[in-house]
Structure 1
């Protein structure tokens, strides 16, 4: 059913909440209050929702392609929603459910996804620069070529996530769970990865120059051809890791676990080894 925005807002004000499958394509809903409304399966493609209140709103499987969602979506249900190309700049999405949602090429700069569920979501090419994703669930999410520079991902769950070619420069991944994640060709220059769990992760040709990996678990990790120059690996666990053809020049490896590490053709010039001596 096609709705005129003004009629919908009047009926909402009168207490009606069920607007499932509503057709609101291109609707002007700037600063509208639709909190707790049921818009499951609704068509909101191209809609203008700048400043709208959508707290706890059910937008499951809704079409929000290219919509302006610079709104308050705290606790909203966006499971399986189509958010392709959506504008979520500075949006509030704390504890929202975006499991399996499609956010391809979405603009999420400085958006707050703290404790949100993005499991299995498609974030390919999304711009999440400076986004807050602390304790967010991103397991099995597709973040191929996503931009996460300066993002806050502390204690986020990125188990088996795909981050191939992702930009994570200066990102905060302290205590992040990244076991089995694919980070091939990712840029993690200067990233904070202290105590991060990266067991079994793939970091082929990744850039970790100057990264803080203090106490990180990199056991069984593939780092072939990776750049770890000047990285801080103090007390990191690199047991059984593949560091062949990599660059560890001037890296700090004091008290690091290096059992069965593959250092074939790796440059260690200037690296400070577990015994405190500089490699020459």
Structure 2
């Protein structure tokens, strides 16, 4: 589907784009809030400055997408592929990014206030200057991520902080890295 067709359908009231092939589509600056992109292919898409608040991108492919300056507040990005995506200065406040793959993603100065990043894979991501206040980081992996000047004030990193109860579930972290002296 090309950009014009999608925008025309959206203007006519259509919001369901489940499984749509939008590979490398240019939707820069569009207003698509509330649309359903479950399992859609938006790899390489230009979504910069786009309003995607409240959208559902669950299990979508956004590999190498440009979403810089975009508004994804309140969106569902659970299990989404954002490998290498550009999210510079993106608004991800209250966004569900649980089990998202953000390896190598650029989240420079992104707003992740109260975002759910539980079980997210963020190794190699650039979180420089990102706002992660009150973000849920339980069982997420930020190994080798750039976190300089990121704000983790009141970020939740353990199950105890979330529930107030000690959980005995074996390993508390999906991503385990073994390091030590030999």
Indicate the structure with greater helix content.
Answer: 2
Secondary structure of the 1:88 match is helix
CA contact (8 A) 1:118 1:137 kept: yes
Cα–Cα, structure 1 residues 215 and 85, in superposed 2: closer, same or farther, change >3 Å?
closer
**Aligned-pair distance for 1:252?**
1.2
Match of 2:55 in 1: 151
Paired with 2:10 and 2:76, the residues of 1 have a C-alpha distance of 21
Q: Which structure has the larger Rg?
A: 1
The question of 1:119 aligning with 2:23 is answered: yes
Correspondence for 2:161: none
Correspondence list, 1:200-279, <5 A: 200-254=104-158, 255=172
Q: CA deviation at 1:258?
A: 9.7
Q: Would you say the 8 A contact 2:71–2:92 is kept in 1?
A: yes
Higher relative contact order (CA 8 A, sep 6+): 2
CA distance in 2, matches of 1:258, 1:162: 30
2:10·2:32 contact (CA, 8 Å) conserved in 1?
Answer: no
The aligned length equals 162
CA distance in 2, matches of 1:171, 1:183: 14
Aligned position for 1:276: none
Unmatched runs of 5 consecutive residues or more in structure 1: 1-77, 92-110, 260-280
Quote the residue 1:169 is aligned against: 73
Q: CA deviation at 1:128?
A: 1.1
> Hey, what's the Cα distance between the residues in 2 that align with 1:186 and 1:132?
19
Normalised TM-score (structure 1): 0.55
Root-mean-square deviation (CA, aligned residues, Å) is: 1.9
Partner Cα separation in structure 1 for residue 155 and residue 41 of structure 2: 31
**Secondary structure, aligned partner of 1:232:** coil
> Once the 2 structures are TM-superposed, how far is the Cα of residue 86 of structure 1 from its aligned partner?
3.8
TM-score, normalised relative to structure 2: 0.84
Contact 1:240 1:258 in 2 (8 A): no
Q: Which runs of 5+ in 2 are unaligned?
A: 159-171, 178-182
